[in-house]
Structure formats: structure tokens, C-alpha cells
Amino acid sequence: MSKTAAATPGIPEEIERFNIIFRIQHVLMFTTFLILSFTGWGLKYAHDPEGLSSIWIRIWGGPDTAGLIHRVAGVTMLIDFVWHVIYLTYLFATKQMTINAKTTVIPLPKDIFDVIKNFMYFFGLSKEKAKFGKYSYAQKFDYWAVFWGMFIIGFSGYALAFPMQVSYIIPSFATGWIWELLGLMHSDEALLAIVFILFWHFYNEHLKPEVFPMSWIWITGKISTEKLKHHHPLEYELLFPEEAKKEKKG
């Protein structure tokens, strides 16, 4: 299929979707995420000295070591996040990245209509699925879930790992309840993040028949124009307006 597309004059066989820096940031994000989930899980469900969580923590070198691994991974993840934000700022400042409704990851009203349209399609009430730009609502949700998590789990985790440093910036009126709240935030939102990744990200990027066993974009950074046309038609139209017009007529 892709061969016929390559034959189309004026259209490359594939285009770059994520550059090397975004790809490294993603790899750092998911390796630290997995390590944090594995080492944190045992502490969240510590109920019995001979229970599963104790055995699980022993696999990670015991609670002392597991705690150290968790902190190192957590700091690495936060640094990765800060790097990402700085890099985005740089891209915007140098105009290498601009905001366009068809390519932005920022949620727009269209995303809500897309969700409604897709649900209608699932129930057989609509004949066609929603058409996406560079990022579908599923991908935007994926991205902003991590972004939100960085503030909620990231900050609370930082405060719990370095309480003495953080205590200086905590206002006096909050000391009575903030620590309890930070613990709850970290633990509850971590569970949310794990289940979210397990269901949403794993289904959409790994288990779906069209991507199984996984979408290779995370490692190659490239998407074939054929796939682009199919999954991100609005971005395709933006990038190759001439071709898109021709195909519509033809």
C-alpha cells in the first residue's frame, strides 16, 4: 500500500512526526514511569509483613533500596519534564513551532465534538468516525494526563522526598493538613496514572488491531503518509493540500 503512495509524485513516503529530542524525552518518561510504578506499588499496598507487597519490595532490593530507586527515578522524571517545557519554550521562541488548530496538542472544542461523534459511531448512530488533525483527542488526553500528573504527583512526590527543603515554602496555615493531602495526592493520583496508562495508552498505542504490537513511531519518529492520510486526515490536508484536493475529486 505504501508503495503506491510513494509512487504519487510530490509526496514523500514518510514524514517526521517526533524529532529525536521528543523521542528521548518519551523514553525517559516511560522508563522512569515504569520504575516508579513498580517500586511505589509495594508501599501503597503494604498491609502484611509476609504479604505480596513485602515479597515484591524484596525483589526490588528491600524497602531501603526500593525507596532510593523510587527517588532517583522520580527526580529523573521531573528533570525530563522540565527539559520538555524548556524545549517547547525554545521552539516557540524561535518560531520553529507555531500554534495551528490542526496541529496543536491544545484541547479545542472540536475534541469534545469528536468524542461525541465517535461514541455515536460506536453505537451505530453515525456512519463515520471523527477526523483528526495531528493529535486525536485520545492522544491529547494522553499528553495532558502526564502534564497534569507532573504537577499533582510530581510536586507531591518532590515534597515527600525532600520535606525539609519544601517545608520552607509551605505557608504556616497549611502545615496542619498539607502533608496528609500531599500523601493522598501522590498515592491516589499514582493509581489513576497507572490504570490510565494500562487501559488508555496500552490499548490505543499497543493493543488496537491497527497498531498491534505497537506503533513504531516512538522509536523511528516517522509516520508513513499513507497512515497520516488515514489517521490524521486534517494534518494531511494541511501538509499536502494539492494532493488532498486531487484525491477528493478523483
Binding-site ranges for another protein (CB under 8 A): 42-43, 46-49, 53-54, 57-58, 62-64, 67, 118-119, 121-124, 138, 160, 163-164, 167-168, 170, 172, 175-177, 179-181, 183-185, 188-189, 191-192, 195-196, 199-200, 203-204, 208-209
H helix runs in the chain, sequence order: 2-7, 20-44, 52-59, 62-93, 109-122, 137-149, 155-161, 163-167, 178-196, 202, 217-220, 225-231, 233-239, 241-249
Closest distance of CB 175 from another protein, Å: 5
Closest distance of CB 29 from another protein, Å: 19
| Grid-cell match 501538509, residue found | 239
Closest distance of CB 116 from another protein, Å: 12
Closest distance of CB 122 from another protein, Å: 4
C-alpha cell of residue 3 = 508503495
Q: Which is nearer to another protein, 26 or 186 (CB)?
A: 186
- Residues 80 and 29: beta-carbon distance below 8 Å: yes
Q: Which is nearer to another protein, 183 or 241 (CB)?
A: 183
- Residues 102 and 134: beta-carbon distance below 8 Å: yes
Q: Which is nearer to another protein, 142 or 235 (CB)?
A: 142
